[in-house]
Amino acid sequence: MISFRKKMVGAVSLVLLIATMASCSSANKDPVNRMDPSKTLETNSEPVTLKLMWFNTLVAKEAVEQFISVPVKQRYPHITVEFVDVKPGASLPDLISTGQSLPDLVITDYSNLSTAIDLKYPSDLNEALRASKVDLNVLEASPLEGVRALGAKGELYGLPLYMDKYMMFYNKDIFEQFAIPAPTTDMSYTDLIALVKRLTRSEGGIKYLGYRWGDLYTFGSQLGLPVINAKTGKADLQSDGWKRALSLMKEMVDLGIDNKITHEHFFKEKRLAIYPQWMGAAYGLIAQEGGALNWDMAAMPYSSNQPLTSGPTKPIYLLASAAGKHKEQAIAAISYLVTSPDVQTLLSQHGRISVLKDKSIQQQFGTKLQLLQGKNTSAVFKYPFGKLPNTTAYESQAWDGLDMAPIAIIEGADVNTALRKAEEKANKDIDTYLSSRK
């Protein structure tokens, strides 16, 4: 199994690397110059250049130009946002540990927010936003509450720029070949398992696979399951929620769905019926490898005990340096990008989920991304965005342990034993990490 640590970076890299592909549909000429009703910060008009770097969330220069630099320049002509690629030995932690100059802005995702905070990089945005009366009530609750929860004393260490979502992508030809109805946006996991059972078969010397179940971390995220218990600070993998998640995964394993199924079975060999994936990563893979694949997408199934939750979301955040010389301008840029209907419409049109609650922006989702034309994009908004699970700066230390559980059930272990050993491994790794920090 690919560890989530590696998978996370790979998937998120494609989320923004496909900006090159997305911009081809508009050639970076999207206007962002309507009168904007959003309340944004005013700044000193002296020309400044803000350096922007990614942190564990690989970003393409073209994406920064299209969705950040150009809109900021149009709103604040005196502010230039300059992309700084991360070189070996010059990551954000490297710069901090060696006392070097830090970027004014950082872009990262939810799973890495707590680590950035632990590094003492981000500035608290509360005072500046309150002073300018920026209305954050226009934002979707889930990504905003997620970052607020990480402020120990109520700090707001960043704002969400947009969201990615985990969806089911499926090969329409396989469903038509076997005369099986395609996935719908109102399926339970019980429905999905019954569907996978029908799809997993051999025909004409070809072994068709019903599903690729991915990793346990992402599945748990859909159910809002925290890896770390907020009260004890320990890995909490033997909860009823994790047992339910791994039990569903075991049902897939019992049908012959193992951890050796990859995206190549879907995009190249075209014998995988359903491929769950983050939208951004899927866009990139479709552009690179999809070819003539006849595909569409549907919302992830809901769990019987959480009928209004379907598929985890992954907010992408902008942070301002607490030590930056241009903090005022950095916060102004963040505020504008996040609350501007024009910028958020631009993101939505290119297949990123807007963080604004504006339904008219949602309705424009994917309209300028060629590969989404004629696809079931309404499925993205079928269910409300769920609460993000609790995370900590050292959560990643538990991921190896969590990855052990699905492997254990493939090898014949029962769910309780698999999770007990996974939790033991996770807590051992956490203790080792925390001891090294003393």
Structure-block tokens of residue 60: 């393409």
Q: What is the pLDDT of residues 265-309, one digit of tens each?
A: 999 999 999 999 999 999 989 988 766 899 999 999 987 777 677
- Give dist(CA 322, CA 301) in Å, integer: 41
Q: Which residue has the higher pLDDT, 382 or 308?
A: 382
Give the global pTM: 0.89
104 pLDDT higher than 50: yes
Whether 4-164+314-378 and 165-312+390-436 share one fold: the answer is yes
If pLDDT is split at 50, 70 and 90, which confidence band does 17 have? very low
The CATH-assigned architecture of domain 165-312+390-436 is: 3-Layer(aba) Sandwich (3.40)
For residue 258, the model assigns a pLDDT of 79
Q: What is the pLDDT of residues 53-78, one digit of tens each?
A: 999 987 889 999 999 999 999 999 99
Residue 435 buriedness (CB in 10 A; 0-12 / 13-18 / 19+) = exposed
Does domain 4-164+314-378 fall into CATH 3.40.50.300? no
- 36-50, 125-139, 210-224, 257-271: which is most confident: 125-139
7 pLDDT higher than 50: no
- CA distances to 39, 362, 371 from 42, in Å: 10, 28, 38
- Give dist(CA 347, CA 116) in Å, integer: 24
191 pLDDT higher than 70: yes
- Give dist(CA 30, CA 46) in Å, integer: 26
**Domain parsing of the chain, residue ranges:** 4-164+314-378, 165-312+390-436
For residue 130, the model assigns a pLDDT of 93
